[in-house]
Structure 1
Amino acid sequence: MGQIVSANAYANNEVVYVAWDVDEMIEGCLGFEVVRIYLNEDGSDAMREGKPDRVTCASWVGFRGQRNPHWLPQHTGIWPVQKLSWRDLTVRKKRAALERRPEAAHVRYEIRPLGDLRDGMEPAPDPTPAPVRVVERDEHGRPILDADDRPRMETVDAYTGEPRPLGYLGPAISTKPVRVTSRRGPFRSTFTNGVLAAQWLRNVLMEDGRIDGDELFNKISDPEDPHRKYLAGDVLPLLHELFARDGEFFLALYELDDPELVELLLSHAERLHVILANTGQHDGVWDHRNASAREVLINAGVDIQHRMFNNATHIGHNKFVVHVAPDGGARSVFTGSTNWTSTGVAGQTNNALLIEHDEVAGAFLDYWHRMRADELAVPVPFGQSMSANQQSLRFRKDNEQPAEVRLPNGAAVQLWFSPNMQRRTKGTKTPPDLQEVYRRMRLAKDAILFLAFYPAQRGADSIIGEAIGIGRNDGRLIVSGAVSSAQAMPNYVPRDRGDPDDPDDDDPGRSPTTFFEDNVAIVRASRIDDRALLADFGAEKLVAKGNVGAIIHDKLVVIDPLSPDCTVVLGSHNQGFKASYCNDENLVIVTGDQALAEAYAVHILDVIDHYRFRAIQAERQAQGRRGWSGFLDGDDSWLEDYVDGRKGALMRYFARGRQG
């Protein structure tokens, strides 16, 4: 009889990723129960109301013959996990409420195999569905109102169908403790929860029986909306915390339109120094998106430089803030992929990193001053095209070498700034910042993980193409990633060549949603859009407004996250040639900090795992093939591919645990 032989958990400030492995088939295994155990500071089990504080993790998918019409969570002792990993998405968010638990939870996990209950087995929790109160709806899904125009409630079973009693097939195995926190030495690593293709969000929008065109965009644009606050995670609170500090702030921003962030800047107007770039062209006029915020900052007397390229070749793509203390010393820098827009903070996957280190902050401040000195002609009016506006050769020359900083914990930080090539349009020579990223990728021993928005068409001249090439040369290496743009997929077939460096959403060509080649797996952000396809799943949104836009906006590479020689690559840089040749960008490379690497790896795994299932479903649907039924398997056949090694390489890597 097989058994679980290893299990490990990894956390960032939003999600815990749990992975385990088995030595052989566990006969009759219908999945695994996953239990979260809260711990005291000394590592002992915490108590709540006189009992150990244990929470069986939530699950939403039942066995065939069972239905979940109200999309209510059961738990993994009733509907078990039929794979060898689990993302604990409710470690911060409560199952039945938007209230978020505070960070810094100290937890471990127990995983235990389950099968149909037989004589002599220890029974799992009673699967009888509990009575719950829900809104009564008509045949069109609209709430039925009472005489006071309030939704009428009714009592129903939490799920329908015959309960399936389960029992334990073996003992539980425990992970080591992990802490759910953003704090890792000099780093505060935070991630948005901006995955919009999600059933919980779809059900929120359907509360009134319909989804209006701009309903989601309006929600995420409202600073008081509770769903926006959940989707933004800790990114907005961290910015508020940063600006509460004494001193001055030096900002370089690409996009700025979020009402809460504009108001935050206005409340500190006299302490700001802002370089604000232009946004794209709309109806022939540039900078439509930033125009309102730009005017407000000007009227408030903010020290602002208008770094407006107003052409299709160059952009000021930074999104960073340097905090300078009252004594004049740079103390910290906030950077990452998060644009200061409502979609950036609450409608896309993004990351933000606060680095509390004088030397790192000082390098960013030096770059800010170099940009400030590299003045561009200011368009009059602001929306006028400026085809000649581009960075100077001197500015490019000054960015050719990185800043290098050694941290107290032994980790190293290398900082690159763009543009750093003398040529002003994209060329064929690999820029120095990407040469360094590629060099580190080629040293990978176990895994290369990445998230990308749109570094280049078909992933060429970018980290996507490089990762695929490295994976092809080393079949033992795990290469796994997710991309946002259809045109960034390596198997994309363009309909019209156009400009391969600029995504054209009106000319998508043919883009599969998956790229699987032996040890290389890449998926594209996708949604469930066929109500009849999967049992109780409903059609999801993919972007906040319209049909196009960034979905995965991260620009991340993590190399060997469980090794002391791990590397994290992040920043505003899209990690393709054009960013280095043409744009104002920052690229941060952190080597040797396992805690930070694990936090970023969890974010990447979270995004990949969410979209992988949807991408496979979309691919099968496009090919006219049958997809997943929407139900748990009724026997142990689901486990065979994991035991045979045909599936689960990534899970096994994380199940093995840390090295060194």
Structure 2
Amino acid sequence: MRVRNENGGLTAMAVAGTYVVLLGWDMPEATLLAQGVLGFAVRRLRERDGERIWLSGMKTFEQVEPFPVPDEPVTSFLHPLQTFQWADYSASPDERYVYTIVPMGGAPGALVLGPGVDLAVATERVDQGRHAVFFNRGAVASQEYARRFQNRPPDDVGPSAFNWLSRGLVEGLEAFIGQAAQGDALEGAFFEFKSPRIYTALKAAKARGAAVSVLYDGDSQGEGNDKALEGQGMDGMVKSREHAGGFAHNKFLVLMQAGVPKQVWTGSTNLSVNGMFGHSNNAHIVRDDAIAARYHQYWLLLDSDQTRKPTATQDEALSPLPADGSPLDALFSPRLGLQALDWYAGLAAGAKRGVFMTFAFGMNSRFVPSYDKTDDVLRFALMEKKGTGRTYKAQAAEIDRIRRHPNVTVAVGNRVELNLFDRWLAELDRIADEAHVLYVHTKYMLVDPLGDTPTVVVGSANFSAASTTDNDENMLVIRGDTAVADIYLGEFMRLFSHYAFRESLQFKDATSDANALLRKYLVPSPDWIHGGGGAGQSYFRAGSDRALRRLYFSGQ
């Protein structure tokens, strides 16, 4: 849900997903300076019970609080937010809130509230009916985990840590499986299939009279999958996919009811401890008979366990490139050529205001031209790492080059390593030793998500050549569903902001012993809008990342 409002020269917009509400605002530069605005406070009213809170930040005015308590957020009512973009990550699905954005004038310690803007929103339900969207917490490397669980591994904490990290994703899969009853069937294909918890749910479905058939990768993950399945009582329900041209990299489950394909569970989540609870992952349920039927046909093809070329030939017949304007479609891999990857790159290149993509293991060269340009289109890339293998150095150099464009912003997974960095706590980077991915594992693209006809592409495939021509993969293409786009955009910005800050610490050498304990305070004048009087980039420099974000997220 999106809401925009204006008052007294202040323009603001809220974009409400399920667990995230994005907030953006703007005021004319001259007004900010004339009124001596020192930042903005944000108040949240929850309509259900009348609870009122002021959203918090981490920085303080040195004149008011020179020695703030380690790891304790501070209220924006006393220490306003010196930015034009913020988010509430503590929202709950299907709730009504009113956010009030207030410009704060006066002086530190004696702030004066200006005329604010109210934004009344209803957060989205996790289950939208046709679509249901799940994101795990995806940030074991976080201050909140460190605060809540003293940075202890989840195995040491117990179910409360796993539940917090799951954030409803694993429970959603269990509920999906729980629908299968007598005469129904579940047909799945998974790269990593190593979860006793999901085995239990599937065995319960079989006990209810449902047929269960799961394919799993028998090549690179074969040994690990086989070991995990030993003694689990899954005989007759599982089968190894042996002849994939590359990785049998899917993660999907089809629900057949009375012999008819009805629902699909898909996304990026491997069924392993790290996949479900450690690095960032998502899942997406789609309830559409035509799409479910195509996934059923795709599963039958995979079950026949043919080699790459015959599989690719049939995949292209089953899932041709989507027609222009198609509201819901699916693309399956492997494919004979790279036309699907070119099609994705064309979507990115055609963005009018913004493109937001996750690239787990580097940016394929087909997407570089879309990012390698200076214009008024915001281009965000969230990455696990800048590249892989022998070409890593060249890939990293290219990312560092294109991120110099003022409208291109890249974030790479990282964590706070030193305890007490500017009142922050050291963070874990994994919950299990066997971790090939630490931070970012999602695979999705958002094209003009705040427009009237957003495009969301999401599934199991990295936007790469191997995922297109070699691996077993699946992707959904969703057009024109603003509620789905709002959910994905909120989750993208949640993790993007999380990791962009952590990566920036490496640029600034902020975690060195000499700099780690230096306090970073709020600017005690309106000069914060210009980077503290020359210390950084101005929010009002035309074409800059900050200026473009100020306009885009305030709905202008």
TM range (shorter): 0.7 to 0.9
Match in the other structure for 2:364: 460
Contact kept in structure 1, 2:321 and 2:331, CA below 8 Å: no
Aligned counterpart in structure 2 of residue 278 of structure 1, from 215, 218, 227 = 218
Match in the other structure for 2:535: none
Contact kept in structure 1, 2:215 and 2:240, CA below 8 Å: yes
Which 4+ stretches in 1 moved above 6 angstroms? 404-407, 508-514, 622-628
In structure 2, C-alpha distance between the alignment counterparts of 1:610 and 1:529, rounded to whole Å: 14
In structure 1, C-alpha distance between the alignment counterparts of 2:509 and 2:74, rounded to whole Å: 28
Structure 1 residue 420 and structure 2 residue 335: aligned? Answer: yes
Aligned counterpart in structure 1 of residue 222 of structure 2, from 269, 287, 292 = 287
Match in the other structure for 1:394: 310
Contact kept in structure 2, 1:406 and 1:412, CA below 8 Å: no
In structure 1, C-alpha distance between the alignment counterparts of 2:185 and 2:385, rounded to whole Å: 37
Gaps in structure 2 of 5+ consecutive residues: 1-6, 531-537
Match in the other structure for 1:109: 99
Give 1:626 shift: 7.1
In structure 2, C-alpha distance between the alignment counterparts of 1:184 and 1:619, rounded to whole Å: 41
Aligned counterpart in structure 2 of residue 539 of structure 1, from 411, 418, 426 = 426
In structure 2, C-alpha distance between the alignment counterparts of 1:57 and 1:553, rounded to whole Å: 29
- Per-residue displacement from partner, 1:374-404 (whole Å, max 9, x unpaired)? 25xxxxxxxxxxxxxxx24221101114548
In structure 1, C-alpha distance between the alignment counterparts of 2:154 and 2:511, rounded to whole Å: 32
Give 1:510 shift: 12
Change (3 A) 1:402 1:438: farther
Q: Equivalences for 1:28-67 in 2 at 5 Å?
A: 28-39=36-47, 46=48, 48=49, 52-64=50-62, 65-67=65-67
CA RMSD of the aligned region, Å? 3.2
In structure 2, C-alpha distance between the alignment counterparts of 1:4 and 1:175, rounded to whole Å: 15
Change (3 A) 1:653 1:509: closer
SS at match of 1:177: strand
Structure 1 residue 653 and structure 2 residue 543: aligned? Answer: no
Change (3 A) 1:259 1:634: farther
Give 1:61 shift: 3.2
Contact kept in structure 1, 2:136 and 2:282, CA below 8 Å: yes
In structure 2, C-alpha distance between the alignment counterparts of 1:513 and 1:277, rounded to whole Å: 37
In structure 2, C-alpha distance between the alignment counterparts of 1:642 and 1:540, rounded to whole Å: 31
Percent pairwise identity: 21
Aligned counterpart in structure 2 of residue 479 of structure 1, from 374, 379, 382 = 379
Aligned counterpart in structure 2 of residue 319 of structure 1, from 251, 267, 271 = 251
Match in the other structure for 1:371: 302
Change (3 A) 1:205 1:303: closer
Give 1:71 shift: 2.3
In structure 1, C-alpha distance between the alignment counterparts of 2:344 and 2:355, rounded to whole Å: 12
Change (3 A) 1:561 1:287: same
Q: Equivalences for 1:530-569 in 2 at 5 Å?
A: 530-531=418-419, 534-546=421-433, 549-569=437-457
Change (3 A) 1:309 1:70: farther
In structure 2, C-alpha distance between the alignment counterparts of 1:479 and 1:328, rounded to whole Å: 44
Contact kept in structure 1, 2:20 and 2:87, CA below 8 Å: yes
Contact kept in structure 1, 2:417 and 2:511, CA below 8 Å: no
Gaps in structure 1 of 5+ consecutive residues: 40-45, 93-102, 118-163, 281-285, 376-390, 422-429, 495-499, 501-507
Match in the other structure for 2:541: 644
In structure 2, C-alpha distance between the alignment counterparts of 1:3 and 1:544, rounded to whole Å: 49
Give 1:638 shift: 1.8
Change (3 A) 1:202 1:372: same
In structure 2, C-alpha distance between the alignment counterparts of 1:623 and 1:493, rounded to whole Å: 23
Match in the other structure for 1:23: 28
Change (3 A) 1:267 1:167: same
Which amino acid in the other structure matches residue 259 of structure 2?
A: G
Give 1:268 shift: 2.2
Which amino acid in the other structure matches residue 485 of structure 2?
A: A
In structure 2, C-alpha distance between the alignment counterparts of 1:656 and 1:228, rounded to whole Å: 37
Structure 1 residue 173 and structure 2 residue 117: aligned? Answer: yes
Change (3 A) 1:104 1:405: farther
SS at match of 2:554: helix
Which amino acid in the other structure matches residue 56 of structure 2?
A: A
Match in the other structure for 1:573: 461
Give 1:309 shift: 5.5
In structure 1, C-alpha distance between the alignment counterparts of 2:406 and 2:168, rounded to whole Å: 37
Match in the other structure for 2:393: 493
SS at match of 2:509: helix
Match in the other structure for 1:8: 13
Match in the other structure for 1:255: 192
Aligned counterpart in structure 2 of residue 439 of structure 1, from 339, 346, 349 = 346
Structure 1 residue 529 and structure 2 residue 429: aligned? Answer: no
Structure 1 residue 632 and structure 2 residue 522: aligned? Answer: yes
Change (3 A) 1:609 1:442: same
In structure 2, C-alpha distance between the alignment counterparts of 1:232 and 1:294, rounded to whole Å: 22
Q: Equivalences for 1:577-656 in 2 at 5 Å?
A: 577-621=465-509, 629-640=519-530, 641-645=538-542, 646=544, 647-656=546-555
Match in the other structure for 1:356: 287
SS at match of 1:656: coil
In structure 2, C-alpha distance between the alignment counterparts of 1:471 and 1:512, rounded to whole Å: 12
Change (3 A) 1:372 1:548: closer
- Per-residue displacement from partner, 1:64-89 (whole Å, max 9, x unpaired)? 34334352344221232121111211
SS at match of 2:508: helix
Give 1:622 shift: 8.4
In structure 1, C-alpha distance between the alignment counterparts of 2:301 and 2:70, rounded to whole Å: 56
Contact kept in structure 1, 2:345 and 2:370, CA below 8 Å: no
In structure 2, C-alpha distance between the alignment counterparts of 1:405 and 1:392, rounded to whole Å: 19
Structure 1 residue 519 and structure 2 residue 407: aligned? Answer: yes
In structure 2, C-alpha distance between the alignment counterparts of 1:273 and 1:237, rounded to whole Å: 20
In structure 2, C-alpha distance between the alignment counterparts of 1:17 and 1:108, rounded to whole Å: 13
SS at match of 1:267: helix
* Superposition TM-score, scaled by structure 2 size: 0.86
Contact kept in structure 1, 2:279 and 2:437, CA below 8 Å: no
- Per-residue displacement from partner, 1:542-575 (whole Å, max 9, x unpaired)? 3334586331111111000122231111100011
Change (3 A) 1:635 1:561: same
Change (3 A) 1:4 1:295: farther
- Per-residue displacement from partner, 1:320-379 (whole Å, max 9, x unpaired)? 111111x2111110101111111111111111111011111111111000111125xxxx
Give 1:165 shift: 2.7
Change (3 A) 1:279 1:340: farther
Match in the other structure for 1:283: none
- Per-residue displacement from partner, 1:146-204 (whole Å, max 9, x unpaired)? xxxxxxxxxxxxxxxxxx53423411112242324223351111111121221122234
- Per-residue displacement from partner, 1:232-277 (whole Å, max 9, x unpaired)? 1121221122122132211111112233223222322453111111
Which amino acid in the other structure matches residue 13 of structure 1?
A: T
SS at match of 1:621: coil
Contact kept in structure 2, 1:513 and 1:615, CA below 8 Å: no
SS at match of 1:188: strand
More helix by proportion, 1 or 2?
2
Larger Rg: 1
